[in-house]
Amino acid sequence: MTQSNSPVDLGVESVNELARNFWYSAILRAGIKLDVFSLLENDSLTSQDVAVRISASPRYTQAFLDSCAVLELLEKKADKYNNSSMSSKFLVKGKAAYVGDHALHHTNTWDSWGHLDEVIKEGKTRLPYETGFVDANTYWTDYMIGQHNRATSGQAHYLVESLDLANKRKLIDLGGGAASYSIALCAANPQLKAVVVDQKEPLVVAKPLVEEAKLQDQISLVEGSFFGDQVGSGYDVCLISGVVLIKPEEDCKKLFKLAFEILEPGGLVVIQDYMHIEDDPARKRLDTLEDLYVLVVFDPGAGDREGAEVASWLEEAGFQSTKSIQLPTQLGLVTAEKPPAG
Ligand SMILES: C[S@@+](CC[C@H](N)C(=O)[O-])C[C@H]1O[C@@H](n2cnc3c(N)ncnc32)[C@H](O)[C@@H]1O
């Protein structure tokens, strides 16, 4: 017979905490969907006030707001709630550092993760709209605006800072999504023109963002596969951002060969992605989880790559002078050059 431990082994709380962790994601997701963080940015409100404003059950709203306070998403003083500094900075729609759509994109994968045991056994990806947790339109919108949140909340700044494109004139952004990085690079380099190639759904999100940035003269959106005929040639920069992580190795290598072919001699290729570039325990932890995440919801051939491996694939495609750049964010850069003519 199994003996129960006595006194209680407090280490079990670590297991209980792991088991409950998804509650935290659910609370965050609900807060974003109910947009309580916009509501509580400038006003301190009671739970009854909030319940009226969001047309919700008073008792559930009180328990929900108290849970938000425990998770430091809100502050509670007497019986009134307002945003914590974290929510105020990152979860109020319209603010530069807003990442709510990115959090929705992550939590849209809920049902896929909920079947993780089956996913592991089958070795098959479950896309969020295949599980019925969200519809395809919601998936694409949250995914693309979420990627854009990441760019505008810091990643675009670091990319722009890391690249000297002063003498470049024509960039191709393969799998450019919401055009976030073409927008940032064209805004910082007025002589630069960019062609963003992606599928229909991302470009629907990209179009108004390019217009909002008033960059229609510099950025063209081209719909189709990056392995299709419409990619053109004669580029002097090729950006591949967020693609290497979610594609099988053979597709990445094919894409690098394509980049080599469509670049002019001396052209620059820039890979921006989750990549393990330097040893850092905090990054290693997230890279490890990210490796599982992309298998669950993107592609059975996807994977969080080693920066050195990406550099070797670029060299295999003919590039030289590879450089790996660790950024303060989770995404790193690997750059390389097509050899000059002659
Ligand atoms: C993670 S997103 C990255 C978007 C953007 N480059 C960024 O960094 O924010 C990957 C993008 O690759 C695009 N993509 C995947 N396969 C593609 C293909 N065969 N042709 C064109 N785009 C593709 C997806 O539609 C998606 O927009």
Which of 195, 198, 294 for a ligand 1 pocket mutation test, highest count of atoms within 8 Å of Cβ? Answer: 198
Residue type, 136: A
pLDDT at 1: 47
How many angstroms is it from 94 CA to the middle of ligand 1?
24
The residue whose CA has the least distance to atom 14 of ligand 1 is 175
Euclidean distance between CA atoms 243 and 331, whole angstroms? 12
Going from the Cα of 298 to the center of ligand 1, the distance in angstroms, rounded, reads 11
* pLDDT (tens place) for every residue of the chain, 342 residues total: 455 556 777 789 999 999 999 999 999 999 999 999 999 999 999 999 999 999 999 999 999 999 999 999 999 999 999 999 999 999 999 999 999 999 999 999 999 999 999 999 999 999 999 999 999 999 999 999 999 999 999 999 999 999 999 999 999 999 999 999 999 999 999 999 999 999 999 999 999 999 999 999 999 999 999 999 889 999 999 999 999 999 999 999 999 999 999 999 999 999 999 988 888 888 889 889 999 999 999 999 999 999 999 999 999 999 999 999 999 998 999 999 999 987
Residues 290 and 298 sit within 8 Å (Cβ to Cβ): no
Which residue ranges make up each domain of the chain?
A: 12-93, 161-337
User: Ligand 1: which of 171, 199, 205 to mutate, most ligand atoms within 8 Å of CB?
Assistant: 199
In 316-327, which positions are buried (b, 16+ CB within 10 angstroms) versus exposed (e)?
A: ebebeebebbeb
Q: Distance between the two ends of the chain, CA-based, in angstroms?
A: 79
- Six-digit token pair at 260? 């080599």
- Would you say the CB of residue 226 lies under 6 angstroms from ligand 1? yes
**DSSP labels, 45-82:** EEHHHHHHHTT--HHHHHHHHHHHHHTTSEEEETTEEE
Distance CA 283, CA 303 (A): 15
Please tell me the distance between residue 23's alpha carbon and the centre of ligand 1 in angstroms: 30
Q: How far is the C-alpha of 269 from the C-alpha of 337, rounded, in Å?
A: 6
Ligand 1 midpoint to CA 209 (Å) = 16
Assessment of whether the complete model's pTM goes beyond 0.85 = yes
Cα of 178 from ligand 1 centre, angstroms: 9
Instruction: Report the separation in Å between the CA atom of 84 and the middle of ligand 1, taken as the mean of its atom positions.
Output: 34
Q: If you measure from the C-alpha of residue 62 to the centroid of ligand 1, how many angstroms do you get, rounded to a whole number?
A: 41
**For position 4, what pLDDT does the model report?**
55
Same fold, 12-93 and 161-337: no
Residue 302 Cα to ligand 1 midpoint, Å, equals 13
Query: Would the CB of 333 count as within 6 Å of ligand 1?
Result: no
CB of 242 closer than 6 angstroms to any ligand 1 atom = yes
Phi, psi of 269 (to 5 degrees): -105, 140
3-class secondary-structure state, position 182: helix
Q: Is 266 left (phi over 0), alpha (psi -120 to 50) or beta?
A: left
**CA separation for the pair 177, 182 (Å, rounded):** 10
Closest-lying ligand 1 atom to the alpha carbon of residue 243: 10
User: In the numeric block, which tokens belong to residue 246?
Assistant: 């979610």
Calpha distance 183→206 (Å, rounded): 10
Q: From the CA atom positions of the chain, what is the Rg in Å?
A: 23
Nearest to 170 by CA among 189, 148, 184, 157: 189
Q: Partners of 66 in the beta sheet?
A: none
The architecture (CATH level 2) of 161-337 comes to 3-Layer(aba) Sandwich (3.40)
Cis peptide before 340 (omega within 30 of 0): no
Residue 127 and residue 83 in contact, taking contact as beta carbons nearer than 8 Å: no
The protein residue with its alpha carbon nearest to ligand 1, atom 19, reads: 225
What pLDDT does 283 receive?
84
Q: Which two tokens stand for residue 269?
A: 């290729």
Pocket of ligand 1 contains residue 230 by CB under 6 Å: no
CATH, domain range 12-93: 1.10.10.10
Q: How many CB atoms lie within 10 A of CB 43?
A: 13
Q: What is the pLDDT at residue 183?
A: 98
Residue nearest to ligand 1 atom 24, measured at CA: 175
- Which amino acid is present at 307? G
Residue among 80, 68, 71 nearest 42 (CA)? 80
Quick count: other Cβ atoms within 10 Å of Cβ 298? 16
Distance 176 CA to ligand 1 centre (A): 6
The number of angstroms, rounded, from the C-alpha of 116 to the middle of its chain's C-alpha atoms is 21
**Where do the DSSP E strands lie in 159-262?**
170-174, 193-198, 219-223, 235-241
The residue whose CA is least distant from atom 13 of ligand 1 is 175
Closest C-alpha among 218, 158, 147 to residue 187: 218
Distance CA 141, CA 178 (A): 10
Q: With H, G, I as helix, E, B as strand and everything else as coil, classify residue 332.
A: strand
d(CA 180, CA 178): 5
